[in-house]
Amino acid sequence: MSDTDDALEGPDLGVEGASLADIPEGGLLAGHFEGESVVLVRKGGSVYAVGGKCTHYGGPLGQGLFDGELLRCPWHHACYKPETGEAVCAPAIDPVPSFVVEHQGGRVFVRGVGKPHVDRAPIPSAPASVVIVGGGAAGFAAAETLRREGYQGPVTIVSADDSAPYDRPNLSKDYLAGTAQSGWMPLRPPEWYADARIELLLAKRVLAIIPAKRQVRLDDGRSLEYGALLLATGASPVRLDIPGAGLPHVHYLRTMRDCESIIDHSRRAQRVVVVGASFIGLEVAASLTPRGLSVQVVAPGAIPMERVLGPELGGFVRTLHEEHGVRFHMGQTVGEIGERSVTLEGGSRLEAELVILGVGVRPNVQLAEEAGLSLDRGVQVDEYLRTSAEGIWAAGDIARWPDRYSGERIRVEHWVVAERQGQTAARNILGRREAFQAAPFFWSQHYDVVINHV
Ligand SMILES: Cc1cc2nc3c(=O)[nH]c(=O)nc-3n(C[C@H](O)[C@H](O)[C@H](O)COP(=O)(O)OP(=O)(O)OC[C@H]3O[C@@H](n4cnc5c(N)ncnc54)[C@H](O)[C@@H]3O)c2cc1C
Ligand code: FES
């Protein structure tokens, strides 16, 4: 994903300003101030001005939507408060600047950056401490929200990963393609955790939860007490049980370490076979092509991504990849992986020095199961993301919640959903009683084509 180009839209709001008549109530207008894009939003009779570049990947907020309450980014739907610029829903975390607005003879002018301010209601009930199991999308967003909401008690993230929370979706996109700098990947720099007093225990696994004692047991022998516990253990790739699946050139992709290992291996390979035509499998195909590898995709279905996108869009995605040289072997499964080839069940052999297995994920529910929490093809939660055990919440890929749109209990594996659930769970841990109501959304990127799905 690239930043917006820096072409500025609309009037210079510091010099010519904008006519109030051009900003309808509930509407927005894109302009700029001192070389930065700015968006004017009219809400409840007042006009507010905020920075026009989304703090997630730089999406143009002036081309977004004001829904009467919040300003939404057109790219991945982060939302901002026009009054303060605060990013209130992920995937953006940082605020955009808020500007001082002046009215003169029916025109609106921007007069400099305003003082950052955030209005926060007092915390209804603060637990003695919060322990978060999982340092991914949901776990990080929950920790950040706890501090943003003003919670002062101890916050600990225990993560089995050896990297601090990072931009996981980018592992199959720009980072794998080699077009993202490594500095883009961490969600926050290391010093942020110390400044925010968030204890980050990396490469540590929670082995057990003891709800009766409000305790978790770690793999280094320690136990941590919790006032509130958030389970955000995510999902793990489904492992293929076929001969050769354990060979060193065969990879799965979930973590930063997996990605580094694929990048390292791709430097010594010319041909790659991707097993699975899911979003991740095809993003990997799109990212390895510019590295000069010849890519073949093997998958059992007839059309890539047909289940989610339907046959027409699935066909479009296939053609897009074929135009970039990717060859498909649909309706096929892999029987065996050798040192330099992959043998399909039908007997054909595909030469490959690198194999990526992307055949789906399974939610990591073992901890919850062993602790006796109610499961329902995931961890069962209510609309406040509470599990069946007192003081324990769950969010992200593991959580199955009552979805207000379909009327069904659903579990999804999307980055923005996981982050927003982490945010909602954090507010509920503090007693705010906020039902999780976001519509599931994900995006996927293939070459210069981005697919957004709501
Ligand atoms: C390569 C890739 C690309 C993706 N691209 C997109 C995309 O473009 N758009 C999109 O919407 N979604 C995308 N996704 C999906 C998205 O990343 C996930 O839905 C999201 O990360 C889920 O967040 P989570 O917090 O539930 O879990 P995760 O982000 O997986 O985090 C789980 C954390 O729990 C830790 N953990 C697990 N068990 C334990 C334990 N016992 N003790 C301690 N720690 C534990 C793990 O180490 C990890 O830190 C992608 C996923 C991958 C792998
Ligand atoms: S660029 Fe705005 S939400 Fe991603």
Measured from the CB, is residue 396 less than 6 Å from ligand 1?
yes
CA 40 – CA 100 distance, rounded (Å): 11
Q: Probe ligand 2: pick from 3, 57, 414, max atoms within 8 Å of CB? A: 57
Q: Starting at the earlier edge strand, list the strands of the sheet with 65-66.
A: 65-66, 71-72, 79-80, 87-89
Residue nearest atom 33 of ligand 1, based on CA coordinates: 134
Distance from the alpha carbon of residue 253 to the mean position of ligand 1, in angstroms:
11
Measured from the CB, is residue 90 less than 6 Å from ligand 1?
no
pLDDT of residue 3: 40
The ligand minimizing its distance to the Cα of 371 is 1
- Please list the pLDDT of the chain residue by residue as tens digits (454 residues): 334 446 899 999 999 999 999 998 999 999 999 999 999 999 988 999 999 999 999 999 999 999 999 999 999 999 999 999 999 999 999 999 999 999 999 999 999 998 877 778 899 999 999 999 999 999 999 999 999 999 999 999 999 999 999 999 999 999 999 999 889 999 999 999 999 999 999 999 999 999 999 999 999 999 999 999 999 999 999 999 999 999 999 999 999 999 999 999 999 999 999 999 999 999 999 999 999 999 999 999 999 988 889 999 999 999 999 999 999 999 999 999 999 999 999 999 999 999 999 999 999 999 999 999 999 999 999 999 999 999 999 999 999 999 999 999 999 999 999 999 999 999 999 999 999 999 999 999 999 999 999 9
Residues 6+ apart with CB under 8 A from 133: 139, 158, 206, 209, 216, 229, 230, 231, 232, 233, 367
From the centroid of its chain, how far is CA 155? 21
Residue 441 CA: which ligand 1 atom is closest?
A: 11
pLDDT of residue 6: 64
pLDDT of residue 121: 87
pLDDT of residue 119: 75
Cis? peptide before 237, omega within 30° of 0: no
Global confidence as pTM = 0.96
Measured from the CB, is residue 160 less than 6 Å from ligand 1?
yes
Measured from the CB, is residue 423 less than 6 Å from ligand 1?
no
